[in-house]
Chains A and B, each alone.
Chain A
Amino acid sequence: MEIIISNSSNIPIYEQIKEEVKSKIVSGELEEGEMLPSIRSLAKDLRVSVITTKNAYEELEKEGYVKTIPSKGVYVNKINWELAKEEQLKKIETLMERAINMAKINNISKKELKDLISVLYEEE
């Protein structure tokens, strides 16, 4: 498993770790039932503090992506696709809000914006 974190990013490191692991779970690189490295070995290998990796795992657990089995380890959970999709939709919503705001500031109509989205969507 590869995890890339940036020390200069404005995103907290625990969040970067969380997102990296999450995307590996969603993409299937990490499979259901697979054991994740312990918080201590992950901290050591990423050269971050133990509290940071602990936070990342706690958040992943809260969101249902992993589960901790006491004195055994942390395992990848079965993905709740509905939840994962909802989360992605939320992110898209935020991005779209920004685009809409920008459009409004620049007097670009709803129709123009919709057309633009259709064109871009077809291109992909």
Chain B
Amino acid sequence: MTNILEIKNLNKKYPNFTLKDVNITLPKGAIMGFIGENGAGKTTTIKAILNIIKDYEGSIKLFDKDNNDEVVKEDIGVVLDETFFSEILLIKDINPIMQGIFKNWDSNLFFKYLDKFNLNKNQKIKTLSKGMKKKLEIITAISHHPKLLILDEPTSGLDPVARNDVMELFQSFIENEDCAIFFSTHITTDLEHIADYITFINEGKIVLSKTKDEIIDNYGIVKCKSTDFQKFFKEDYLKYRKNKYEYEVLVENKKEFKKKYHDLVIDKITLEDLMVLMIKGE
């Protein structure tokens, strides 16, 4: 098995939203960031992977097995957008509950992570800050040694320091090369550091799925005047946007572009620019 997650031709129709021909492949040892606007289909895709939504077309395989296979559950760790802990519990109360749910639950690992990320096991969950709660959810999700971690917006609403802690947790998880992480987000700066693959969904369709390095090292944004823009051939750029004072043009290979059109300003791309131009550009 080289792929941990394989989605083939996933289709799902709602009255006013459609997930169309979604294909995603996540090899083991990798982190994939799943980006897109709110409402683009990120959560729907995740819910289909987890078999929370059932009546879809297409196939979803986890570790080469169908996603409704019971054995699959033991091998995935999940963090969804909404908190699932009862507020009246203490942090340490999670331990016996999870012991009952997962065969492989590792109490030592759970308490080790609590220490490492400065969570006090005797604290009430109710009194935790948003960032601490998220860290607790992630620690809980990885303490039964899953092979795949699936997270929906794990960093939204967190401050930069807490986000950094979460990224650190991810990277220690992925040090085991048999594991993989699939997480959705609209905060793209997190991904610019640690993700291996970026998959970009827009209006229910996958518009881009590549290694992050391919995107960051090759894509670029050309800033130019309208007279320059008129000289560009249509096949040389992906999207453009006319702003008040300049044109912003998204190109797939900045080196080739530079060879063909000299003396232009080509900026390095950020995933945020990419998202905005792919969605808003013409």
Q: Is A98 an interface residue (CB 8 A)?
A: no
Q: Mark B148-171, 1 if CB is under 8 A from A, else 0.
A: 000000000000000000010001
Give the nearest-CB partner of B217 in chain A.
A12
Contact A49 B175 (CB under 8 A): no
Q: Is B10 an interface residue (CB 8 A)?
A: no
Give the nearest-CB partner of B266 in chain A.
A10
Q: With A47-B167, A47-B194 given, is the CB distance from A55 to B174 under 8 Å?
A: no
Band of interface residues on B: 20 to 34
Residues B10-63 near A (CB distance < 8 A): 29-31
Task: Determine, out of A21-29, A36-44, A60-68, A81-89, the stretch whose residues face the partner at the interface.
Answer: A36-44
Contact A44 B268 (CB under 8 A): no
Report how many residues on chain A are interfacial, defined by Cβ distance under 8 Å.
17
Q: Is A14 an interface residue (CB 8 A)?
A: yes
Q: Is A99 an interface residue (CB 8 A)?
A: no
Q: Is B3 an interface residue (CB 8 A)?
A: no
Besides A40-B177, A44-B171, A47-B194, 5 new A-B residue pairs in contact (Cβ under 8 A), listed by A number = A44-B172, A47-B167, A47-B171, A49-B31, A55-B213
Which A residues touch B268, using CB under 8 A? 8, 10
Residues B185-213 near A (CB distance < 8 A): 192-197, 211-213
Q: CA separation between A44 and B213, bound complex, in Å?
A: 16
Pick the contact of A50 from B172, B192, B196 — CB < 8 Å?
B196
Contact B213 A49 (CB under 8 A): yes
Q: With A40-B174, A40-B177, A48-B193 given, is the CB distance from A12 to B213 under 8 Å?
A: yes
Which B residues touch A43, using CB under 8 A? 171, 194
Question: For B29, B30, B217, which residue has the most chain A Cβ atoms within 10 angstroms?
Answer: B217
